[in-house]
Amino acid sequence: MEATREIYWNVGHGVVWGMYLFAFIAIGICAWGFWTRLPVYRQGKPLSRLDRLPERIALMVKAMLAQSKVLRVLDPGALHALFFWSFALLFIGTLLIMAQADFAAPVLGIVFLKGAFYKLFSLSLDVAGALALLMLGGLMVRRFFVKPEGLQTIRDDYVVQALLFSIILTGFFAEGIRMAATEIGANPQLARLSPVGLLFGQMFLGMTPAVLSQAHKATWWVHFFLAMGFIAAIPYTKLRHIFTTSANYLFADLGPKGALATINLEDESVEQFGAASIKDLTWKDIFDADACTSCKRCQDRCPAYATDKPLSPMKLVQKIGEIARETPEANLCQSIGEDVLWSCTTCRACQETCPASVEHVNKILEMRRNLTLMEGSFPGDEVRTAIGNIEVNGNPFGLAYAARGDWAEGLDVAVMESGAEVDVLYFVGCYPSFDKRNREIAANFIKICNAAGVRVGILGKEEKCCGEPARKLGNEYLYQMTAAENIELIKAYGVKKIVTTCPHCFNTLARDYQDLGLDVPVEHYTTYISGLMRQQRLKLSPEPFEFTYHDSCYLGRYMDIIEEPREILKQAGGQITEMTRSGLESFCCSAGGGRIFAEEKIGSRINVARVQMAKETGAPLLVSNCPFCLTMFEDGIKTGGVEGEIRVRDLAEMVAERLAG
């Protein structure tokens, strides 16, 4: 006898009408739920997120089917992925049965669920069901018993987990009863291919056919209605993420990381800068709230949250959704809280990790823009002073702009004004120009370039702050003001290539300035040095040292430059011990987002936390690649009381001390 089974056994083929009716009702309720949500999204400003469609679809399929984003954190990503795959298989199995019983057989007279294929079908669905149940169990234990810090459990979680659990369970019961009645005795070999069903079926062996039939009918209908309930519940519970998160993969930001819309300050029709209310955000900003699965991965990585600031990127995103749905007229920044908005260091850890492709940082920046540009508000008076200084003197310290190039006195470096021929322009930035400790970075970088025979030029007193901290504080006006002056100069000198030692300058010149018309290749000194070494222009004589390495946010997460600096340090003789949080998972130094100017008044100190992580590696040396990080760690070592236990140095210093010849 060929392996197969009777579909609609016991319930009878007559159920199809009722079944489809209820199915349509369930789908209708589901569709209605999403439909009524559309006006919520539509409150936002338009934004095109369907360009480059094939690329987007490919991204979506990969992230959905391969669960690639979910799996970046294995616990509990693996549970979710395995559950997803097995549940998807069960869903496909159900569709196959539908196609077989209600279409292929009655309309075309074809039976494909038979023989070897049926055996495979039967076995894989059974295994999938078991796996789904197991994974679900694991997820439940995690949520209800392990209760990881910060995980919020709401009504949805009970509903969803109970629904899924009972759907799978009733499925197995229905299968078991059917097998007890028709398969276990009649075709034990086939029954063995449904191992879980067999297990359930054994409970019912020995019951009379009449009882079995009643029990089966009841279980079948319960299973069916639970499944319909599942479909209907999707938009009203966290289950909505099945659609919204998938859609968010499609709507993902394909621009370079950290791209922020450049405001047209010349457009006189614009009266509102930044986001004052929900309608000043884009529809995608609102939609993100629905795509968020409350997985809290962003929150787990947020340096502000970790140090008891009022900011949680997860809650911020959800709050935006809440405002959009419930109080759309509300003042956005006040509802969320200024302290929340100012706490962000724009480290991008949230956005990098988010398995739902939520974009946190730009929302915060749009709200900061409103605070700064429309209300003239600042996170503190010290920041106001720094911003005022940039406006007047082109540097946050309020030091004479004419002294900007003084650090280079006596070094082999040309000032562009003099008309010298150079290979690269070194865009120095404020900290290496003025800050005593950071001047070491500048001087050592020049030393390295000299050793490689590279002719370096600087703008000297003509250079202005790149504008990055101002921009990240929301001050687009000041940013564009200083940027325009820098760009004009760089263009006037016909610069062919720019190198920076600051990752903030690097991102700003390489990416942000493009919108303002600068089109010159820009490199960070780490990749530049790495290139010189590859071309054999720069030779090091290694000298052993042990170190741990800090990936600055703007070099690592923003620019994906992770390996090159490590490689340079290894070639310089370094023996690395990694911190637990490194690479894309690195933990901010606290200085990003303009917070370098701000006193950290709330919670504990981020830089101290990071220095502590470095100390835990046991390495006596922390190497960084950013003037802001260097400043923060010098301070963190002092305030953290670990002086003498660990030192911080910049990569340029390590290299310059090991130049060959």
Partner 1 sequence: MLIVVCIKQVPDTTQVQIDPVTNTLVRDGIPFIVNPYDTHALEAALQLKDRFGFRVAAISMGPPNAEATLRKALSLGVDKAILLSDRVFGGADTLATSNVLTRAIQLLNKQEEVGLVLCGKQTIDGDTAQVGPGIATRLGYTQLTLVDRVERVDSLSRKIRVRRKLEGRHEIVEAPFPAMITVVRELNQPRYPTVPMRLDSADAEVTVWNNEVLKLDVATIGLKGSPTWVSRIFSPEREKGEVVGDGLNDPVAAANLLIDKLLSKDLIAV
Specify the 3-state DSSP secondary structure of 500: strand
Yes or no: say if 249 and 167 are a contact pair by the CB < 8 Å rule. Answer: no
Q: Minimum CB separation from partner 1 for residue 380, in Å?
A: 11
Closest CA to 429 of 502, 503, 519: 502
317 binds ligand SF4 (CB under 6 A): yes
Q: How far is it, in rounded angstroms, from Cα 537 to Cα 71?
A: 42
- Comparing CB distances to partner 1, the nearer of 186 and 265 is 265
Span interacting with partner 1, options 56-64, 379-387, 503-511, 647-655, rule CB under 8 A: 379-387
The DSSP code sequence of 609-660 is HHHHHHHHTT-SEEEES-HHHHHHHHHHHHHTT-TTT-EEEEHHHHHHTTB-
Near ligand SF4 by CB under 6 A: residue from 302, 383, 619, 655: 302
Near partner 1 by CB under 8 A: residue from 392, 563, 604, 645: 392
Near partner 1 by CB under 8 A: residue from 214, 377, 571, 612: 377
Q: Which does 298 bind (CB under 5 to 8 A by kind): ligand SF4, partner 1, none?
A: ligand SF4
Within 10-29, which residues bind partner 1 (CB under 8 A)? none
Q: How far is it, in rounded angstroms, from Cα 508 to Cα 393?
A: 19
- Comparing CB distances to ligand SF4, the nearer of 174 and 316 is 316
Please give the single-letter amino acid code of residue 95.
L
Q: Minimum CB separation from partner 1 for residue 364, in Å?
A: 19
Q: Which does 240 bind (CB under 5 to 8 A by kind): ligand SF4, partner 1, none?
A: none
273 binds partner 1 (CB under 8 A): yes
Near partner 1 by CB under 8 A: residue from 95, 141, 265, 420: 265
Buried b (16+ CB within 10 A) or exposed e, 421-449: ebebbbbbbbbbbbbeebbbbbbbbbbbb
- Comparing CB distances to partner 1, the nearer of 373 and 414 is 373
Q: Which does 297 bind (CB under 5 to 8 A by kind): partner 1, ligand SF4, none?
A: ligand SF4
- Comparing CB distances to ligand SF4, the nearer of 226 and 606 is 606
Yes or no: say if 553 and 349 are a contact pair by the CB < 8 Å rule. Answer: yes
Yes or no: say if 181 and 10 are a contact pair by the CB < 8 Å rule. Answer: yes
376 binds partner 1 (CB under 8 A): yes
Near ligand SF4 by CB under 6 A: residue from 282, 293, 482, 500: 293
Q: Which does 632 bind (CB under 5 to 8 A by kind): partner 1, ligand SF4, none?
A: none
Within 342-371, which residues bind ligand SF4 (CB under 6 A)? 344-350, 353-356, 358, 360-361
Specify the 3-state DSSP secondary structure of 607: helix
- Comparing CB distances to ligand SF4, the nearer of 394 and 592 is 592
Q: Tokens standing for 513?
A: 């300035």
264 binds partner 1 (CB under 8 A): no
Within 477-496, which residues bind partner 1 (CB under 8 A)? 477
Yes or no: say if 247 and 291 are a contact pair by the CB < 8 Å rule. Answer: yes
Q: Which does 387 bind (CB under 5 to 8 A by kind): ligand SF4, partner 1, none?
A: partner 1
Q: How far is it, in rounded angstroms, from Cα 316 to Cα 298?
A: 11
Q: How far is it, in rounded angstroms, from Cα 473 to Cα 526?
A: 27
The CA-CA-CA angle for residues 532, 537, 540, to 5°, reads 85
417 binds partner 1 (CB under 8 A): no
The DSSP code sequence of 250-266 is HT---SPTT--PPP-TT
Q: How far is it, in rounded angstroms, from Cα 93 to Cα 122?
A: 9
Q: Which does 301 bind (CB under 5 to 8 A by kind): partner 1, ligand SF4, none?
A: ligand SF4
- Tell me whether strands 498-500 and 424-427 are parallel, antiparallel or unpaired: parallel
Query: What is the number of other CB atoms lying within 10 angstroms of the CB of residue 541?
Result: 11
Near partner 1 by CB under 8 A: residue from 461, 537, 605, 647: 461
**What's the Rg (C-alpha) of the chain?**
31
Q: How far is it, in rounded angstroms, from Cα 448 to Cα 308?
A: 41
Q: Which does 317 bind (CB under 5 to 8 A by kind): ligand SF4, partner 1, none?
A: ligand SF4
- Comparing CB distances to partner 1, the nearer of 376 and 644 is 376
Query: What is the number of other CB atoms lying within 10 angstroms of the CB of residue 466?
Result: 26
Near partner 1 by CB under 8 A: residue from 137, 229, 398, 573: 398
Specify the 3-state DSSP secondary structure of 456: strand
Q: Which does 392 bind (CB under 5 to 8 A by kind): partner 1, ligand SF4, none?
A: partner 1
Give me the residues that bind partner 1 (CB under 8 A), please.
265, 268, 271, 273, 372-378, 381, 384, 387, 392-393, 398-402, 461, 476-477
Give me the residues that bind ligand SF4 (CB under 6 A), please.
292-298, 301-304, 311, 313-314, 317, 344-350, 353-356, 358, 360-361
